[in-house]
Amino acid sequence: MRAVAALLVVFQHAYYTACVSRGEIYSNEFPVNYGRLGVVLFFSISGFVIALNRKRSIKEFVTHRLLRIFPGYWLAIALTFPFYCFPPHQMHVSLEAALLWPSAQDSGLPIPYWTLVFEVFFYFVATVLFSSRLGDRALTVIAVAWIAAINVCQHNPIDGSDFCFPGFWIGLSPIMQVLPMGFLCSLHFGMLAKVNRGIFAAAAVVAYATSFFFPDFTVLRHLFLGASTTLLLAAVADMNILNKATRIMGNASYGIYLIHFPVMVLVFPLLPKMPTALAIAVFMTIGTGLGLLFGIFDYWVYRQNTKRILSI
């Protein structure tokens, strides 16, 4: 599922880069915003996985989260910075961006790092809750209350920039509610697993279709988007569909996410002008291929670092 989420984001960026490379104005002509759907799916999965870690020691939990996010992210910045620090890119790295601290403005990194800011914020909240050694009932109440607070406050962004970089309002951002949704699904998956999976799959489709009735970037739009991806997880989370290829893609998905877009933007001036469909396929192949190589290395580094540090 992580691999699917990553590829959805890659596809949306491949379409964007294909438009730019052809000198066309980018506008999402597809009925589905595949990139947003991929991010929402990522958040559902992340919330689900974090709940699975609630019994770990705080040291182990924090070590895994920090080593999973920051080394690969910093390496991606280091690899792309030499190419993007000159015109026309003029990339700069703010301290807020480097530390994935909530900000109200984009730092200009070609890496779609804004989603990581939401992830790190959620990890911080989870660390506080897990440190308190709360039971599943209390965690359930807090997660439900968080989702309810987001929907009551209705802090609806005015545009994409406000949506991705909410600053102080990150805890009440429309997309933030997806993480506690996945968290709840994981907490109660033992009970949910007794329900016919077809019901969850059908409900996921209905929730997704319902999301189109609400404006983009809004709380209600992402309430139903999050419900859709979380219901999908409830339907498939314990299905044994792993093989070597899907395991590698899933483990490398974070690296694919980090590096695919910078690579696409760098190579498009070197390629001849092509039909849109062919350009999308080319950028998908380049972004996924190089991202996969980076992701495999990044995952290997993560595993080695966690083994070394946790053995101290």
pLDDT in tens, 40-95: 999 999 999 999 999 999 999 999 999 999 999 999 999 988 887 766 667 778 88
Given a cut of 50, the residues of the chain with pLDDT beneath it are none
CB 243 within 8 A of CB 178: no
Which candidate, 216, 264, 225, places its Cα nearest to that of 42? Answer: 225
pLDDT of residue 28: 64
pLDDT of residue 83: 80
Which candidate, 172, 278, 189, 286, places its Cα nearest to that of 239? Answer: 189
| Angle between helix 219-236 and 197-211 (nearest 10) | 160
Alpha carbon distances (Å) from 294 to 17, 92, 161, 273 = 20, 22, 28, 27
Which bin fits 81, alpha (ψ -120 to 50), beta or left (φ > 0)?
Answer: alpha
Cα separation, 97 vs 23, in Å, equals 30
Tens digits of residue pLDDT in 210-234: 999 999 999 999 999 999 999 999 9
- Sole residue written with tokens 């102080």: 168
275 C-beta neighbours (distance < 10 Å), count: 10
Which candidate, 158, 73, 148, 61, places its Cα nearest to that of 115? Answer: 73
User: Residue 260: CB partners within 8 Å, gap ≥ 6?
Assistant: 9, 10, 13, 287, 288, 290, 291
Cα separation, 153 vs 252, in Å, equals 37
pLDDT of residue 110: 85
